[in-house]
Chain A
Amino acid sequence: MSRLDGTFARLRARGERALVAYLTAGDPSLAGTRRLVLAAARGGADVVELGVPFSDPLADGPVIQRAGARALAAGASVARVLETVATLRAEVQVPLVLLTYYNPVLAFGLKAFARTAADAGVDGLIVADLPPEEADPLAAEAEAAGLDLIHMVAPTSTPRRVRLIARRSRGFIYLVSLTGVTGERQALPSDLAAQIRTLRLVTTKPVCVGFGISTADQVAAVGRLADGVIVGSAIVRLVEERAGSATLAEDVGNFIAELKAPLRAS
């Protein structure tokens, strides 16, 4: 059983929902990311997603775009992110999932990437611009290395695609709540419950919802429907705002604790 499967099974048994916290690796620095991941785990994040920055992040809104640009400017690269994960793995048990775009993975080499990531202690992989139709080469390497390749379902996915994605996705299914890019939104989409129901009809795999979720209230609402809630831009914006502060890691840890609170078993 993979570390992700174990985490979701344990949470389910306890009637608890997962908080998936996203951080852009290398923002403000890779050493900073190390501290932030430790703080996120202490704060109660059940899964940590690490964004591997790419020069052209077309699925991301302004907050994560800026974080990626800062990380690249500070010297983050695929190899250095993987090294950071390797040092983290000795200290945290929390499942670590990399979120990136296909080109940096291709440039590293599919086999080399999958093996190095697995050896470093990465558990899963999300590639924002790699739909199942194009994913066979990476899926084969990921499977051989024991990495979960996680796919996304969108509001525009047809029933046939929903089934395909549910079948292919490993670890969990990432449900994109809205048509759009990553970023905070005032309100949750009104059809979210229906989207989740549709997905539940075809799969028993854990469903985590992301895009546009930024407050504890929104997390609580989504937590009533899904197995996990993914928060990205709100955390990354906090990192941006407090980057120079001595209490950055503590502040992020506290914010994550606040987001996790409504997901604990009542």
Chain B
Amino acid sequence: MALSLPDARGHFGRYGGRFVPETLMAPLAELERAYAAARRDRRFRTRLAALLRDYAGRPTPLYHAARLSEHCGGARIWLKREDLCHTGAHKINNVLGQALLAARMKKRRVIAETGAGQHGVATATAAALLGLPCEVYMGTEDVERQALNVFRMRLLGARVIPVESGSRTLKDAINEALRDWVTNVRTTYYLLGSALGPHPYPMMVRDFHAVIGAEARAQSRRVLGGLPDVVVACVGGGSNAIGLFHRFIGDRRVRIVGVEPGGEGLATGRHGASMTAGRVGVLHGCMTYLLQNDDGQIAVAHSISAGLDYPGVGPEHAYYRDAGRFEFVAVTDEEALEGFQALTRLEGIMPALESAHAVAHAMRLAKTLPRSKTIVVGLSGRGDKDVHVVARALGTEVG
């Protein structure tokens, strides 16, 4: 298994690459060089490690969900608690790394896109910490779904720019952030929040999140006495998933499962399962699996979870899917809601709706496996931001 991916041109096999307007080509090369230099710089690494420990709250626990496991009556389920990170999700890992890089590159301004608002809040947080002006693009559909996160970003001093174009969700927020970057590329750092986009973003975002899997692997050896049998994470763009999975790729006996948003069901066409139902294409600078029609027009993804509402998946996932190393399954909105409620009732942990997809699949899987087996679930974020969505789905109104 090729662990040295991507290659020098940013390709994971046929996936990834750098499909962008010429204006961004030299800046991406500059970013790639700056990132390589930062990684070699001990002061950069020390500073990032200190921030991850003292500011973000790493390492996050690996927690045995005993009552949830008991309820399923099969394999033991362990949760990698990224929901306990500062700002409530794994997103902070990547954001701290890239914000330090932006400062190191002497960029005067940071921009980002956000779907659920988690990456936006994390970026606004890091920008506040480092004193960088920050603007966040967010589809108006998501602004409405995630009003609380919009206000959080504003409290943190960021400007939230609502995006009216296209489907008014994450994909359009990325389009608009790229348009801003093309325009202000000399002064602005684009802090992309998922393991997608043009090279070096998929690699860089993966590297900054790989701490999740590195910790989970070491913790598993310590508390389980060995590696888990399965690791499971939800996949929208795929950042928390690649972070958890990456260190396990070489462990051939560990099954790796990505959980895609099945929305209202694959048969309805209203979903976000690009790996299960998509075709290879190019969007936002990289070649990967995409939801699209026969004419190559990108389809609108649907999910109860705004953070999974993206019609593609990061290129490294596409590569390992084809290589047969990663499996992908879909979990519907309804199943995710069941996972949300089960984890809340049985463990007192309210997961983000994104993470609830992974929980739901882990529960399904646990039932089919003996008690001797272990499943590690990436609990990528906490669910406070989704309470109103859950209330509506369950037929109650809050607030």
Contacts and interface: CB of A to CB of B under 8 A. Distances in A.
Contact of A131 (B18, B27, B295, B297): B18
A186 interface: no
Given A103-B283, A104-B297, A156 B179 contact: no
Contact of B178 (A58, A65, A131): A58
Interface string A151-192: 111111110010001000000000010011100000000000
B20 A176 contact: no
Contact of B23 (A65, A101, A151, A176): A176
Nearest to B11: A134
Contact of A55 (B19, B186, B298): B298
A107 interface: yes
A255 interface: no
A133 B296 contact: no
Greatest chain B CB density within 10 A among A154, A157, A158 is at A154
A176 B20 CA distance: 14
A134 B175 contact: no
B26 A181 contact: no
B185 A156 contact: yes
B139 to A, nearest CB: 13
Contact of B22 (A54, A65, A104, A131): A131
Given A56-B166, A131-B25, A153-B22, A181 B297 contact: no
A100 to B, nearest CB: 9
A240 interface: no
A107 B18 contact: no
Contact of A103 (B9, B24, B292): B292
A179 B25 CA distance: 12
B26 A129 contact: no
Nearest to B24: A156
A102 B19 CA distance: 8
Contacts of A131: 18-22, 25
B162 interface: no
B22 A102 contact: no
Greatest chain A CB density within 10 A among B171, B280, B297 is at B297
Contacts of B138: none
Nearest to A76: B295
A169 B7 CA distance: 26
Given A129-B19, A129-B20, A181-B179, A156 B27 contact: yes
Contacts of A108: 295-296
B131 to A, nearest CB: 25
Interface in B39-66: none
A36 to B, nearest CB: 22
A254 to B, nearest CB: 31
B296 A105 contact: yes
Contacts of A106: 280-282, 296
Contact of B17 (A58, A72, A134, A157): A134
Contacts of A65: 165
Contact of B295 (A77, A176, A180): A77
Interface residues of B, number: 38
B165 A158 contact: no
A116 B211 CA distance: 49
B27 A129 contact: no
A104 B171 CA distance: 17
B64 to A, nearest CB: 43
Given A56-B171, A107-B281, A133-B9, A165 B22 contact: yes
Contacts of A102: 19, 282
A154 B171 contact: no
A78 interface: yes
Interface in A240-264: none
A120 to B, nearest CB: 16
A159 B309 CA distance: 40
B9 A58 contact: no
A180 B22 contact: no
A130 B19 contact: yes
A88 to B, nearest CB: 20
B183 interface: yes
A133 B29 CA distance: 12
Nearest to A151: B22
B285 interface: yes
Contacts of B279: 107
Contacts of B17: 133-134
A152 B21 contact: yes
A114 to B, nearest CB: 15
A128 B296 contact: no
A129 B185 contact: no
B284 interface: yes
B298 A56 contact: yes
A179 B296 contact: no
B127 to A, nearest CB: 22
A59 interface: yes
Q: Which 5 A-B pairs have the closest CB atoms?
A: A107-B296, A104-B296, A154-B23, A180-B183, A154-B22
12 contacts: A54-B297, A56-B171, A78-B295, A103-B296, A106-B281, A107-B295, A108-B295, A131-B21, A154-B22, A156-B26, A156-B185, A165-B22
Given A59-B182, A104-B295, A105-B296, 15 more contacts: A59-B179, A61-B179, A77-B295, A79-B295, A102-B19, A103-B283, A103-B292, A106-B296, A107-B292, A130-B19, A153-B22, A154-B21, A156-B24, A179-B23, A179-B182
Interface of A: 54-59, 61, 65, 69, 72, 77-79, 101-108, 128-131, 133-134, 151-158, 161, 165, 176, 179-181
